[in-house]
Amino acid sequence: MLIVKHPFSQMGAGWIQENFFEASRGIRRRRELRFQQDIFLGWGFGVGEALLWRRPCQDWLAEEDAVLPPFERHVFVCHNVRPVDAPRPSCTRDGQSELHTRLKQLSREAGLEAKVRINKSGCLDQCEHGPTVVVYPEAVWYGNVKPEDAAEIVKEHLVGGRPVERLRLAEGCINTKACPHKVGNEE
């Protein structure tokens, strides 16, 4: 591995210039580079200098698959905030979620950090059922989830692999305008 400070005045010649521009774009096409990987780390302290990190291709190709295995599950917790006078309800009032914090804490305690990714999300379009949580790859949708339900979701679903049926949304309410709970569809 080599850290290089390369002045722009010398960049006109050869492959350095081409690879510098690849590095500055974030190496989107890393596998196409055959002999080295240049990663743009930022501008140097001198005027017109850039800092690159260079290492042989074989090193990073071997590491790429070994760094982190893919997550087994992704959990999305709606954090959408609507105005108080909006016709549809909101999953959170202030953009904060005790539910999200609790799910992350309990999954960490269960040793799921490398297996389960828990993220805040924008609107999941299940506002009448909020707060809403969805777990992938199973596509299990939970509605009206409270922070005290987090322990059951982690224990039963994320650890045990069994969805929590009492919190599950009905199939007829997911991704359809025909849900009887949606504003305007009530009887």
Mean pLDDT computed over every residue of the chain: 71
Q: In the predicted model, is pLDDT for residue 105 greater than 80?
A: yes
Sheet with strand 73-78: strands edge to edge: 116-121, 73-78, 133-136, 140-142
pLDDT in tens, 140-157: 999 889 999 999 999 999
Instruction: Provide the residue ranges of all domains of the chain, joining segments of one domain with +.
Output: 2-64, 73-173
Q: In the predicted model, is pLDDT for residue 92 greater than 80?
A: no
Count the helix, strand and coil residues of the chain and give each as a percent rounded to the nearest 5. 30, 25, 45
Q: What's the pLDDT score for residue 94?
A: 61
Superfamily (CATH H level) for 73-173: Glutaredoxin (3.40.30.10)
Q: What's the pLDDT score for residue 58?
A: 52
Residue 44's SS3 state is: coil
Q: Which residues, including other chains, have CB under 8 Å from residue 29's CB and lie 6 or more apart?
A: 22
Q: Is 127 exposed, middle or buried (0-12, 13-18, 19+ CB in 10 A)?
A: buried
How many other CB atoms sit within 10 Å of the CB of residue 134?
20
Q: In the predicted model, is pLDDT for residue 119 greater than 80?
A: yes
Q: What percent of the chain has pLDDT over 70?
A: 57
